[in-house]
Structure 1
């Protein structure tokens, strides 16, 4: 099995960026800056969701599914970096995972949100992402195939945006991950949703945000498995074995000191819809 890297990010408004681009009193708090900027947008008839380049990444969670050189299957789920890691550090570590494994990237709306945000924030923090941006122009032998299958082109599958593909690239047909996961019998979102990340961050609940992000990538990987069944890449038996393999690994995570959220997640599995 090739290496699969499922990813998801969580963001908050970039108060530092808002200060740099606007005229705000240096004595007011980041929360006040964000609220003033939101009000200014609403007064202009805009919504209060900031553009992607003003989204600060506070968590990047990943599932890595691969087979080791000795043939041992591996499933790892977690959040990049430590709880006090900088935004630049976690972004750089994410792209280093791609450099190291050249994986199949899998996301839910990664083309429409996660990757554009990562690109903009990577520019801000002087991050290097050479493998991700490979498009077959380098002289490396193993890079030539990237001309015809790279992470950048929408219709190449080196990055598989499940939401985009399942909707046949029609935005009006997009489905939310939470709803579709639950329809498929998976747990769906746990603890919060994207609109609650900023209030949670202000309350100092970054650990809860990281846990929420981790359950999202678990949902996305399970949806990827269901998609593999749909397209015939998994037989029914292979699919069922893979789901059980995921559950087994999540139970191991649940028994770790910081794994209590996985107990709740595992309890959310329902019988498959017949």
Structure 2
């Protein structure tokens, strides 16, 4: 397996917001409030910003490669957005893993596109569709119906928007911990408070939940047998046991998954 499950966390791109709204030298907190207020006016109440106005503060990945499994957040806690976005695409260039996400087609990847555009980051392998590498013509990262990027939410919903589900609810349904008390709506507050550590921990648990739902999906579609499925889960458990970090300990403690072949 060469699988990379990933998740991103974002906040308002206040630098662009200041320019677009002509806010001068207004600070980040007030600029963010102005951007959200304008968005509520535009939408009649919703304050979720357009994807091009998100700034990435964390990218966490769960990597299954050869005989190892690892979860981490790209870059150090004080790394710039440009650095962590570049690291993400550099990893794709080097290893060409199969990507796994939850709503990656609808959110994570489009945001990464805009931020790579903003920072001038080249990613030729990611954008390859077969002109220079024939295998990518039939299986690339960009085609919604290809498997080099698997958006679990989209696939499980049968590509029907009305059938989509939240990762947290699907994870809990399967005996996984889900959000562990944190939520995406709290990320901006944590960043304003200077608590990037809490955001990185939260992003890592989302990558974990995504990967474990993916394993269940692989069992469901026959790519993992019952024994192999349990072995892969045990590999994740062992990583959590061996890892530092209270969020990993809490994740392991609240993980109540049962063997699927017993009909649980």
Task: Describe the SS at the equivalent of 1:131.
Answer: helix
Query: Which residue is 2:41 aligned to?
Result: 43
Q: Tell me, in whole angstroms, the C-alpha distance in 2 between the residues paired with 1:78 and 1:10.
A: 14
Query: Which residue is 1:32 aligned to?
Result: 30
Query: Which residue is 1:77 aligned to?
Result: 71
Q: Tell me, in whole angstroms, the C-alpha distance in 1 between the residues paired with 2:141 and 2:34.
A: 37
Q: How does 1:100-115 map to 2 (within 5 A)?
A: 100-115=94-109
Task: Describe the SS at the equivalent of 2:38.
Answer: helix
Query: Which residue is 1:22 aligned to?
Result: 21
Task: Describe the SS at the equivalent of 1:132.
Answer: helix
Alpha-carbon offset, residue 43 of structure 1: 3.0
Alpha-carbon offset, residue 33 of structure 1: 1.1
Q: Tell me, in whole angstroms, the C-alpha distance in 2 between the residues paired with 1:12 and 1:39.
A: 15
Report if aligned partners of 1:64, 1:75 keep a CA contact under 8 Å in 2: yes
RMSD: 1.1
Task: Tell me how many residue pairs correspond in the alignment.
Answer: 259
Query: Which residue is 1:234 aligned to?
Result: 224
Q: How does 1:18-167 map to 2 (within 5 A)?
A: 18-26=17-25, 28-44=26-42, 45-67=44-66, 73-138=67-132, 143-167=133-157
Structure 2 residue 247 is matched with structure 1 residue 261:
yes
TM-score (norm 2): 0.95
Query: 1:25-48 CA distances to partner (integer Å, 9 max, x unpaired)?
Result: 42x311101112222232342521
Report if aligned partners of 1:134, 1:150 keep a CA contact under 8 Å in 2: yes
Alpha-carbon offset, residue 271 of structure 1: 4.4
Report if aligned partners of 1:191, 1:212 keep a CA contact under 8 Å in 2: no
Q: Tell me, in whole angstroms, the C-alpha distance in 2 between the residues paired with 1:65 and 1:37.
A: 39
Moved more, 34-43 or 88-97: 34-43
Q: Tell me, in whole angstroms, the C-alpha distance in 2 between the residues paired with 1:196 and 1:103.
A: 31
Q: Evaluate the alpha carbon distance shift between residue 271 and residue 113 of structure 1 in structure 2; reply closer, same or farther with a 3 A threshold.
A: closer
Query: Which residue is 2:5 aligned to?
Result: 6
Task: Describe the SS at the equivalent of 1:64.
Answer: strand
Q: Which runs of 5+ in 1 are unaligned?
A: 68-72
TM-score (norm 1): 0.92
Query: Which residue is 1:70 aligned to?
Result: none
Q: Tell me, in whole angstroms, the C-alpha distance in 1 between the residues paired with 2:102 and 2:195.
A: 24
Q: Tell me, in whole angstroms, the C-alpha distance in 1 between the residues paired with 2:122 and 2:102.
A: 24
Select 1:245's aligned residue among 227, 235, 248: 235
Task: Describe the SS at the equivalent of 1:62.
Answer: strand
Q: Tell me, in whole angstroms, the C-alpha distance in 2 between the residues paired with 1:191 and 1:204.
A: 19
Q: Tell me, in whole angstroms, the C-alpha distance in 1 between the residues paired with 2:41 and 2:207.
A: 36
Larger helix share, 1 or 2 = 2
- Report runs of 4+ in structure 1 exceeding 6 Å deviation: none
Alpha-carbon offset, residue 94 of structure 1: 0.2
Q: Which runs of 5+ in 2 are unaligned?
A: none
